[in-house]
Amino acid sequence: GAGVSQSPSNKVTEKGKDVELRCDPISGHTALYWYRQSLGQGLEFLIYFQGNSAPDKSGLPSDRFSAERTGGSVSTLTIQRTQQEDSAVYLCASSPDRGFYEQYFGPGTRLTVT
Amino acid sequence: QKEVEQNSGPLSVPEGAIASLNCTYSDRGSQSFFWYRQYSGKSPELIMSIYSNGDKEDGRFTAQLNKASQYVSLLIRDSQPSDSATYLCAVISNTGNQFYFGTGTSLTVIP
């Protein structure tokens, strides 16, 4: 079956603009996760959804970051007023059940802020 | 102190040798531990999970967990060039609401 998909695959934006990144999880997966990976850095956990709810938003780097999930499926990560330090690969993952087990990752969105 | 620490490497081993990858974590309450493999330019993929002290074997991979010492390791037996990748250690926080990755260890298997 289809894996996790993310769009766009690449995004170049000017500093100060808003961007939306989209994630389509594997059909039937109830949990969805967002991470970012900066060059030379590890994977940084941002947020996870169980259904449409996010139990803990403290991993979001700043209040410029927000995420939502509707219908228990597609999720959008929004970054407002982008900064150069936001440049990274944003990865989405999903799993069939709650709790970070059996995560399947999407191909990522490479965000470049100029 | 980072939640998960790994030696960044690079670690080089000859083909057929055992590769040993190590990871320590800071949250004594963590209960669930994972090893992911990430090929260059690709997304991570789960290769092992371990929840209890001791060893867990899956094919050429063995994960080892010692909660008293707060370390997790991954052994790769009969290493192959196709094992060349970055290996990421990850743990679930004791609240169960956050997930921490180490920065990864780069492994190169030399033919």
Q: Please give the full DSSP string across B1-69, using - where no structure is assigned.
A: --SEEE----EEEETTS-EEEEEEES-TT---EEEEEE-TTS--EEEEEE-SSEEEEETTEEEEEETTT
The dihedral of CA B62, B100, A113, A4: what is its sign? positive
Confidence of residue A1 (pLDDT cuts 50, 70, 90): low
Contact in structure between A110 and A11 (CB atoms under 8 Å): yes
Tens-digit pLDDT profile for residues A13-61:
999 999 999 999 999 999 999 999 997 678 999 999 998 888 888 889 9
Contact in structure between A78 and A19 (CB atoms under 8 Å): yes
The number of C-alpha atoms within 13 Å of A31 and in the hemisphere containing its C-beta is 17
Tokens of B88: 């990421």
Please report the pLDDT score of residue B55 as a whole number: 96
Q: Is the minimum CB–CB distance between A30 and chain B shorter than 8 Å?
A: no
Please report the pLDDT score of residue A7 as a whole number: 97
Predicted confidence (pLDDT) at residue A98 exceeds the cutoff of 90: no
Which residues are within 8 A (CB) of A44 and not within 5 positions of it... i.e. 6 or more apart? A35, A36, A37, A38, A59, A61, B101
Top residue of B43, B86, B103 to mutate, by most chain A CBs within 10 Å, is B43
User: For chain B (length 111 residues), average pLDDT per consecutive 10?
Assistant: 85 97 93 94 94 96 96 97 96 86 95 95
Q: Is the peptide bond before B111 cis (omega within 30 degrees of 0)?
A: no
Query: How close is the nearest chain A Cα to the Cα of B69, in Å?
Result: 23
The SS3 assignment for A15 reads coil
Q: Is the minimum CB–CB distance between B96 and chain A shorter than 8 Å?
A: yes
- For A42, the closest chain B residue by CA position comes to B103
CA distance B68 to B53: 9
